[in-house]
Amino acid sequence: MHKGLVAYIIIIAIIILLWYFSTGFSVPQVGHTTTTISKKSTTTTVTIINTTNNTTKNYTNKTYLSCATAAYLYSSSFNTTQSVKCSWGGGELGLWVSSINNSYTHVNLVNANNSTIVNRTFTNLCPILYKDYNLSAGTYSLTMQTGPASHIPSNSSSPCYFFLATLNTSLLPHSNSVYTNVFNGNFSTGSFAGWNVTGLAFKKKPLDLPAANANSCYPENTPWSGYNATYYASTYYCNMTTQGVGNLTSSQFTVTQPFLNFQIISYYSPYIYVEILRNNTPAIKAYFNTYRISNSSTQTFMLRNATIPLITLYGKTVRIRLVVTEVQEHEYMVAGDFRLSSTPNQQPGIPYNITIT
């Protein structure tokens, strides 16, 4: 009898130990949910135990990066398709697109409900801001299809020889934003993003000087030279001066350095000048004459370094405004590569008159 009782106890103990090992030393409670997440994958196992049945379901966790940083599609190949999914917390996102010359970029943007936001083909060379969207919080899918190559473009060495589709916020200033340097001061976006364009003088986008040279779009039968950047605001377009007046005004920025350096071509005229605005009122008005450096008319194609002193405006919020109030034949302005600096970068003979009020 004693031996039988001992054997019975041993059997019960073995059963209990086996049960503990099989359940991982845990006792689920009725109605309680336990979750185990694998560190090596994105698969989540959810075990639900209740009074009626036991169910195990596998879910895949989809974690998307922010649309403002991850929705970036880039290619230099023809006939390809790329897609990316991203999440957005809500707010403004701008769609930037570029294509390769003689081809196209087709862009499709849909939300989580597969509602189409963009379904469009673009043929512009170099990135442009197509549109600024106010998107609600959620996930979005961005797809880029690149077109076929008709032939290798003559300007294949251009820095914009690529396909691009991207959602971005950093390239989209708000009217009340104040920057610590000149926003989009070298127009590297291929657009006037952050600048306000009025009138017809500067058209709707900056001039791509390398591309202009490749297509013989320059004055005096001599290519543009001396430029540090690629894009410049210009009132000259392919063998003609823009027939119109207008202004180009930057976003607000704080004067954190004593000098504003830039490059310019300008014929001296009371109708063509650069202003520094404070509270939308001219604080500095500067006239330049790059033509008078040399007696040779071929110098009209060369960008020159120029500087406007901002010492009197240090710590203040200002804007840059390029002004053309009247058009004369063969008189034009080309300007760009604006940036604040601790030292001036001006070539002799550039300023004609700088008035500080």
Complete DSSP assignment for 236-287: B-SSSB-SS-EEEEPPEEE--SSEEEEEEEE--BTTEEEEEEETTEEEEEEE
The stretches of 122-161 forming alpha helices (DSSP H) are none
Residue 102 pLDDT:
77
Residue 111 pLDDT:
95
DSSP assignment letter at 66: B
Model confidence, pTM: 0.55
Q: Please indicate whether the domains covering 67-168 and 178-356 agree at the CATH topology level.
A: yes
The stretches of the chain forming alpha helices (DSSP H) are 2-23, 67-70, 209-214
Residue 54 pLDDT:
37
Residue 155 pLDDT:
47
Q: Which residues of the chain have pLDDT under 50?
A: 18, 20-61, 154-159, 172, 293-296, 298
Residues sharing a CB contact under 8 Å with residue 206, sequence separation 6 or more, in sequence order: 187, 190, 191, 192, 231, 232, 233, 234, 336
Q: What kind of fold does domain 178-356 have according to CATH? A: Jelly Rolls (2.60.120)
Residue 31 pLDDT:
37
Smallest CA-to-CA distance from 71 within 96, 46, 91, 105 is with: 96
pLDDT tens digit string along 111-167?
Answer: 999 999 999 998 877 677 788 788 998 999 999 999 988 755 544 444 456 788 988
The stretches of 24-93 forming alpha helices (DSSP H) are 67-70
Q: What kind of fold does domain 67-168 have according to CATH? A: Jelly Rolls (2.60.120)
Phi, psi (rounded to 5 degrees) for 232: -140, 140
The two three-digit tokens of residue 318, written as one number: 């200002």
Tell me the domain boundaries of the chain: 29-61, 67-168, 178-356
Residue 36 pLDDT:
34
Residue 117 pLDDT:
95
Identity of the residue numbered 249: T
